[in-house]
Chain A
Amino acid sequence: MKPLTPKRLAWICGSLSVVLLIVVVISLKVGAVPISVIDLVASLGRVAIGQSDQLPSEYSLIVFDIRLPRILLGILVGAALSVAGTGFQALLRNPLADPYVLGVSSGAALGAILSLIITSRASFAMPLAAFAGALATIAGVYFLGRRGGQIDTHTLLLAGIISASFLSAVIMFLMTTLSGGELRGIAFWLMGDLTSTRTPVGMGWLFTVLLIAIGAIYSTAADLNLLLSGEQEAMHLGVDVPRVKLVVYVSASLLTGLAVSVSGAIGYVGLLVPHVMRLLFGSDHRLLIPATAIGGAIAIVVADTLARTIVSPTELPVGAMTAMAGAPVFIYLLRRRLQ
């Protein structure tokens, strides 16, 4: 593994950001309504020099009020889920850990749905309930996944998958028995949906909280590297293991809970992206965490662009796209690990 220098870190993150920017511009261009590159560049230029009021209203509405908010939300959600996945993978020393596979997304979704039933869309209740659901699920899965005081890879995965299916059954029960007008659309939302009606203020909040949670996980990056060789070993090397575990579990649950509360359960991003990034750049968390954040953003923007355009003008849930790409990778990783 190459040693990590600030220059290498800046280079890699810079290049990934350029890729993200290119993907965003492509995503701004394509959609149900065709918009030419020239028009797009012209309107971006006008906005940049502060003449946005001279734009043709229809283009600007579609590009800046429909596509862009959705892309920004996708970037935030992609970064959150991927970093959460990286965090879970490091703590559980298991490259197959992912918020979706572990049932954490389902726990968050159940929390969100319960808050919808009880409070009927109070704006702060839903993310909080989703966070609580995520935290409770990961705690449950963690304890179920232990064997003889140690985390066992396969027991843990089984615990996660079984929790996910149990929680989905509870969600199904609630949807069948309580299905009123309020709950319609949840089936679609559960598959992941980035249609955004959030205000800039709401997006600002989301961005801030996600940044803090990602920062908290990043602050433990060096410790996570040591944890890769085992908890005992890390402890001997001076890592405050319980503190690191607490920080990463809480932050990763917060990231998952927030992501689910704004966009439903989008699966496999937290699995796919960290894996690809590890293949490309190695497993040093000081590089891996920022790289996964940007990579996750790229992955979701690409997936959502496909979801918007494949059967246009109808839209697919973005979760269907990520599952189609992610599930085969999961099987591949699992088989390679078993051999």
Chain B
Amino acid sequence: MLTLPFRRWVRFALLAALAVPAAASGAAQAPASPPSTPSKIEVTDEVGRRISVPVPVRRIVSLAPNLTETVYALGAQDRLVGVTDFCDYPPAARQKTSVGGAVSPSIEQIVALKPDLVLAQAITMNRRETVDALEHLGIAVYSANSRSVDGILDSTRHIAELVGASEQSAVLLKTLRARLDDLKLRLAGRPLRRVLFVVWTEPLVSIGRQTFIADALRLAGAESIVETEQDWPRLSLEEVVRLQPEFLVFASSHSESVRTTVEDLSERPGWRGLDAIRQRRIAAISDAINRPAPRLVDALEDLARRLHPEAFADKQVPR
């Protein structure tokens, strides 16, 4: 890293500016050969970049809340040295050093934390420019890009391999898969509930079919009434009234705030026309559904219980 060409260029510029007559000897020196490099592994990340990650990874910076959760779920939080302002789960993550927001974190703050590995969430959280800038500085950035629940499990496994937590991930994934299988068994043969997943009410924003949330809905025995390739489509209320979803799904960290929102909506023209609002067929679930991390499975089970209570009538504990 010390031998980046920029440095030499800067030196020339400074020499010219300060007119220090020491150019000839300094500029001709060849940069020292790099010290014996620690072992590295080459992997391809989820957006197709080849990256080279040192082994073992001792310092991790996470640039997205879901990746922070994943690192905690893998038990690698002791090596997590930097997070974003949005990383609020688990609460302990708030104590970590912040590198700023996900969209425009401070590159120099990240560099100052001397990470062996930076975790980024492609497309939905982090900008490609941020990843480019870090790569340019010789920092390994693994970009996750999960588009389905299976994809989330795969991302978790890949990250675990990079940070040397494969054993934890094997245990974690086994549990998660068992829970998903149990859910599948319970919901087998039951009709899918037609739902509107509400990301935002003003303007009304929902999810497209290629998002991991759409996939999570299917696993929870629901299907989104919105059929679009766009990830976060703005919808017209008219269209929603025409389609009449059976349930509205809200994701929030406070179920109380969902109640207030729904009371408010039921007073308004347009929303009043929705059967689901009039009959209060509302499923308020944890905002974990918005984060492609292992905790999503909790939210997904919760949603399935609300949409298909009869499937959970017996006392059998899902395991």
Residues in chain A within 8 A of chain B (CB atoms): 21, 31-33, 44, 47-53, 55, 57-58, 60-62, 64-69, 176, 179, 181-182, 184-185, 188-189, 193, 195-197, 199-200, 308, 312-317
Contacts and interface: CB of A to CB of B under 8 A. Distances in A.
Contact of A185 (B11, B108, B112, B128): B128
B1 to A, nearest CB: 6
Contacts of A312: 100, 106, 109
A315 to B, nearest CB: 4
Contacts of A60: 2, 7
B129 A193 contact: yes
Given A48-B20, A64-B10, A184 B128 contact: yes
B170 interface: no
B137 A65 contact: yes
Contacts of A317: 104
A185 B128 CA distance: 7
A68 B10 contact: yes
B14 A58 contact: no
Contact of B109 (A32, A196, A197): A32
B171 interface: no
A315 B27 CA distance: 35
Interface of B: 1-11, 14-15, 17-18, 20, 22-23, 25-27, 29, 31-32, 47, 85, 98-101, 103-109, 111-112, 114, 122-123, 127-130, 132-133, 136-137, 230-231, 234
Contacts of B231: 179
B40 to A, nearest CB: 18
A35 to B, nearest CB: 9
A67 B107 CA distance: 10
A184 B127 contact: yes
28 contacts: A32-B108, A32-B112, A33-B111, A47-B7, A48-B20, A48-B22, A50-B25, A50-B29, A52-B2, A53-B3, A57-B2, A65-B7, A65-B137, A66-B137, A68-B6, A179-B230, A181-B122, A185-B103, A188-B127, A199-B5, A199-B6, A200-B9, A312-B106, A313-B109, A314-B101, A315-B100, A315-B104, A317-B104
A33 B9 contact: no
Given A200-B6, A312-B109, A314-B104, 7 more contacts: A21-B17, A53-B3, A65-B137, A67-B108, A68-B6, A193-B129, A308-B106
Given A62-B112, A313-B99, A31 B106 contact: yes
B111 A64 contact: no
Contacts of B2: 52-53, 55, 57, 60
Contacts of B47: 181
A184 B99 CA distance: 20
Contact of A53 (B15, B32, B108, B136): B32
A62 B6 CA distance: 12
B107 A44 contact: no
A259 to B, nearest CB: 17
Contacts of B101: 314
Nearest to B8: A52
B136 to A, nearest CB: 4
Contact of A49 (B4, B9, B22, B122): B22
Contacts of B27: 50
B231 to A, nearest CB: 8
Contact of B104 (A66, A184, A188, A200): A188
A69 B7 CA distance: 10
- Identify which of A44, A53, A61 gathers the most chain B CB atoms within 10 Å of its CB: A61
B128 A195 contact: no
Given A47-B10, A52-B11, A200-B9, A61 B106 contact: no
B32 A188 contact: no
Contacts of B137: 61, 65-66
Contacts of B114: 58
Given A61-B1, A313-B106, A44 B100 contact: no
Contacts of B8: 52
Per CB-CB distance, the 10 closest pairs between chain A and chain B, nearest first, are A50-B26, A185-B127, A314-B100, A313-B106, A313-B100, A32-B106, A181-B123, A32-B109, A33-B112, A314-B101
A47 B127 contact: no
A66 B133 CA distance: 9
